[in-house]
Amino acid sequence: MIKSKSVIAIFISFIMIVAFSYLNANQNSTYEALKHSQHRNPIDSGEYFLSSTICNDCHGFDTSHLANLDLNGNDVNVYDDWRTSMMALSAKDPFFFAKVSHEITVDPGHANMLQTKCLDCHAPMGAFTALFHGASSYTLNDLAYDTLGLEGVSCTSCHTIGTDGLGSRFSGNIPYDTTRKIFGPFLNPLMGPMQLYTGFTPTFSGHMSTSAVCSPCHTLQTHTTDLSGNLTGGTFVEQATYHEYLNSAFPSQQIYCQSCHMPQLEEQVVIANHILSLQGRSPFNLHQFAGANQFMLNLIKNNKSTLGIDIPDAYFDSTILYTTKNLMQNSVSIFLNQDSLDADTSYFSLTLTNKTGHKFPSGYPSRRAVVQFVVLKSNGDTLFKSGIFGSTYEVNNISAPYEKHHDIIKMQTQSQIYEMIMGDVNDNRTTVLERAASTLKDNRLVPNGFTTNHYTYDTVKIDNDALADADFNKNSTGVQGNGKDIVHFHIPSNGYDGVVNVYAKVFYQSVPPGWLQEMFSYSTALIDTFKSMYQNADKTPVLCASSELLNIQLPSGIGNNFSVNGVYVYPSPTTDGLLTIRGAGITSYELFSSDGKLISKTSGKNSNLISGIQLPDQTGIYFIKVVSLSGTHIFKIFRS
């Protein structure tokens, strides 16, 4: 019996070795095939989808300089704008390849299912052509020899999406219309040339201008497995950008995904070459597809040869510029304020406002935004710092296993990081998508209009710490939906009584180093290739927003008169309980006990001096809220 068991064990081991050898051989072949795929003819183009090279003939650069020009004569052809976007590169993205390799190495039993699901959105023309032909799966090995699939999210990946169930079909369940129609946003399209040249019919449909056309791939649920690879029957929302958008003010304002990611030109643009009688169309959506993944665009640009990409750097540079501008101008704004100060602490608040129509960050769960807060003395020495990056661009002093959400930061070991953290069936942090069973943290900034009673909330939840934060997406009366968060910084002076400069910044990282540790603990051809690219890449985070307060005077000790923005409250401590307020245009004040009870107030004034304010006889801490021309300020006062 023992001998029989040994034989069985040896046989199983042999089968596993063969299986892993085959899997790794397929992964090894992928990059070799990619290197040569750029120069092959498309496979089955015209059956259900068209190669972008066919679309380029009419919708690319016009050598006669008559079509695809804006009002100033600048070339705005859709092909050249698209070809270096992450949409076009979705099936050549080395991070994507490495992550798929990671997933199928962790769970080889689900390899075909995982690859098919991922490629439904990363290589939809290849995946759905295979599906329409009756294939049960579509893998990286299939993709490597399928030039149609390798075009990523190409022209007809989007322009053949129909309306059947659109907006309610997700996770790569794309409702393609297979009747050879090319849907577009313009009424009464000229049909003849496209029909003659491609066999497809240009067709107006209003859905092409709505966010619903993005929904099949920008909400994704994964099927959860336990640590042994067994399906639990549960699902996990890996990303839900479309649902985040629905739970915002943007739909009611008729602001769509295209409004930001495909900016409109209001002038007339002739949209096809070689047709002299063709009239211009308006509005015209630029096909820049500027998102937030500046890091991967740079990495791919710098590894074009390995990835089989033959596109001049200039095209990458323009897309990187669009992406950087989008992050800096359209993602988040911040406002830094000094609220008050006492004998040994200065109180600052940083208000962050989400400017997007979804969470920020949104999409793939590796992405995060980091708040950096630095206070420098007049000689340049650091008094306080939080959110500082180390040499690898990981944030210093992160608490294991992840940094929790903070409403108040008072120690340099605390940092505010907006991110989503996944947990496995044991509620341990994981970056294996198939093992994701719960959300351990999601404090990403929500969009304006977001509420917890919206019908999508079960898909786009906020974590408990952020939910308990009194000013996370809430105004001063607790009403939800302002799309803001206020982080309060309590900065100890540590005996320093001079001038300081205060700097606040928000940085964005699409692929932070800590998120890759689990994947890099495995070794496959695809993981190792991306690891080498990543280690040699410029990982500098993108600066999205900044704010500063200069020449702020800190108190030296308990005997100081306290001032904020030209408003003074003194003395503190006070032995007789009498206070004086001095400053320009004081209109009101409110005096509170340390537990928040209102003691006294006055309003309707417009004075530069209010004296004789009486504190209660009880010693302790009090707060006085002063409204003046310079704003609203809160002071902490000591009654001795």
In order of start, what are the domains of the chain with their CATH numbers? 2-217+274-326 (no CATH), 331-421+465-553 (2.60.40.10), 562-639 (2.60.40.3080)
- Tokens 């859709």 correspond to what residue? 78
Q: How far is CA 553 from the centre of its chain?
A: 37
Give the whole-angstrom CA distance, residue 603 versus residue 424.
56
What residue ranges in 427-527 does DSSP mark as E strands? 429-430, 438-442, 484-492, 499-509
Q: Quick one: tokens of 129? A: 């052509």
- Judged against a pLDDT cut of 60, whether residue 151 lies above it is answered with yes
Q: Which residue has the higher pLDDT, 54 or 6?
A: 54
SS3 state at 580: strand
The residue written with tokens 């959860």 in the block is: 224
Mean pLDDT of 59-70: 96
pLDDT grade for 7, boundaries at 50, 70 and 90: very low
Residue 409 has pLDDT above 60, yes or no: yes
Rounded Cα distance between 370 and 617, Å, is: 45
Any residues with CB less than 8 A from the CB of 2 and at least 6 apart, and which?
Answer: none
Would you place residue 72 in the very low, low, confident or very high pLDDT band (cuts 50, 70, 90)?
very high
- Spatial contact of 310 and 455, defined as CB atoms under 8 Å apart: no
Structure tokens at 108: 């080889």
Beta-strand relationship, 416-423 and 429-430: antiparallel
For residues 121 and 238, is the Cβ–Cβ distance under 8 A?
Answer: no
pLDDT for the residue 20: 39
The tens digit of pLDDT for each residue in 195-204 reads 999 999 999 9
Q: What is the mean pLDDT of residues 525-535?
A: 99
Q: How far apart are CA 608 and CA 220, in angstroms?
A: 59
φ/ψ of 447, rounded to 5, equals -75, 160
Preceding amide of 283 cis, omega within 30: yes
At residue 18, does pLDDT exceed 80?
no
- Name the CA radius of gyration of the chain, rounded: 29
Residue 593 CA to residue 599 CA, distance in Å, equals 7
Question: What span, in angstroms and rounded, lies between the C-alpha atoms of 35 and 16?
Answer: 30
Q: Which residue has the higher pLDDT, 497 or 535?
A: 535
pLDDT of res. 102: 99
Give which of 99, 91, 156, 151 is closest to 122, Cα–Cα: 91
Confidence band for 45, pLDDT divided at 50, 70 and 90: low
For residues 337-345, give the mean pLDDT: 82
User: Which percentage of the chain shows pLDDT scores above 90?
Assistant: 78
How do residues 347-398 score in pLDDT, each as one tens digit?
A: 999 999 999 999 999 999 999 999 999 999 999 999 999 999 999 999 999 9
Tell me the CA distances in angstroms from 552 to 382, 408, 555, one per residue in order.
14, 20, 10
> Taking the C-alpha atoms of 542, 548, 553 and 555 in order, what is their torsion angle to the nearest 10 degrees?
-50
- Nearest partner of 198 among 316, 321, 42, judged by Cα: 42
Instruction: Summarize pLDDT for 553-596 with one digit per residue, the tens.
Output: 776 444 445 567 778 888 877 888 999 888 889 999 999 998 88
Averaged pLDDT for residues 452-469: 97
> Residue 149: pLDDT band by 50, 70, 90 thresholds?
very high
- Total residue length of the chain: 640
CA gap 392, 602 in Å, rounded: 54
Q: Is the pLDDT of residue 9 over 50?
A: no
Q: Which of 347-351, 448-452, 532-536, 559-563 has the lowest mean pLDDT?
A: 559-563
pLDDT of residue 325: 97
Helix (H) or strand (E) holding 241: helix 241-246
- CA–CA gap between residue 160 and residue 183 (Å, rounded): 6
Nearest to 607 by CA among 626, 583, 630: 583
pLDDT exceeds cutoff 60 at 31:
no
β-pairing, 588-593 vs 598-602, is antiparallel
The reported pLDDT for the residue numbered 563 is: 64
Task: Give the angle subtended at the CA of 264 by the CAs of 258 and 269, to the nearest 5°.
Answer: 130
- pLDDT at residue 19, rounded to an integer: 39
- Predicted local confidence at residue 562, as pLDDT: 59
Instruction: List C-alpha distances in Å: 198 to 55, 62, 588.
Output: 9, 19, 73
pLDDT at residue 11 tops 70: no
Give the model's pLDDT for residue 14. 39
- Residue 436 pLDDT > 90, yes or no? yes
Which contacts (CB < 8 Å, 24+ apart) does range 435-441 have? Answer: 435/106, 435/224, 435/225, 435/226, 435/227, 436/222, 436/224, 436/236, 436/238, 437/224, 437/232, 437/234, 437/236, 438/236, 439/237, 439/463, 440/402, 441/402, 441/404, 441/405, 441/465
Whole-number mean pLDDT of the chain?
Answer: 91
At residue 93 the predicted structure's pLDDT band, cuts being 50, 70 and 90, is very high
Q: Worst-scoring range by mean pLDDT, 488-497, 515-524, 544-553?
A: 488-497
